Amino acid sequence: MKITNFEFKTRSKNIELLETKLLKLDPVFKGEDHQVDTYFNIEKGRLKLREGNIENSLIYYERKDVSDTKQSDVLLYQFQPDLSLKEILTKVHGIKVIVDKRRKIYFIDNVKFHFDTVDKLGTFVEVEAIDTGNIGIEKLKEQCKYYADFFGIHDSDYEAKSYSDLMLQLSNKVF
């Protein structure tokens, strides 16, 4: 499935407060997922295998690393858990980094909200305005702006890097 989203991520020392604020809008709660994202070595973009209780997907995406809201162009393949897929990807590409997180997932219409606790990195909030083909990028941008304002998030609060890049940066500091 081909998807375009417009999104932002921000660190938050109090994701519970932001989650409580979101609950006032009566979002649909999809659940709390323990997700392990295995990123593979590829030349362009990012390729990750997401293994969770709620979401299991092979995800390829391209996105600029900017401290702002940003567009992601995504190819998504959802699957039932199967170790052979991970074994094949590992053998062909090699593992770049693994991100382990607990994620609460909510939706309001086409907008997905993540309240993440990421092992070794801390707590984050992500908002993704998702278009599977009929909304348009301008509407997605408006939705991101609306929710950033709603949460009181400023431009300087946006996280530019993906969790994988933050983990790699952290591991480089450790060694």
Mean pLDDT across the chain:
93
Query: What is the band of 175 on the pLDDT scale with cuts at 50, 70, 90?
Result: very low
Measured in residues, the chain has a length of 175
Q: Give me the pLDDT at residue 155, please.
A: 84
Distance CA 87, CA 101 (A): 21
Residue 143 has pLDDT above 80, yes or no: yes
* Buried b / exposed e along 34-55 (16+ C-beta atoms within 10 A): ebebbbbeeeeebbbbbbbeeb
Percent of the chain with pLDDT over 90: 78
| CATH architecture for the domain at 2-174 | Beta Barrel (2.40)
Question: What is residue 81's predicted lDDT score, i.e. its pLDDT?
Answer: 85
Q: Does the pLDDT of residue 136 top 50, yes or no? A: yes
Separation of alpha carbons 49 and 51, rounded Å? 6
3-state secondary structure of 142: helix
User: What ranges do the domains of the chain cover?
Assistant: 2-174
pLDDT in tens, 107-125: 999 999 999 999 999 999 9
The predicted model scores a pTM of 0.92
Distance of CA 33 to the CA centre of its chain: 13
CA distances for 153 relative to 44, 70, 149, angstroms: 30, 15, 6
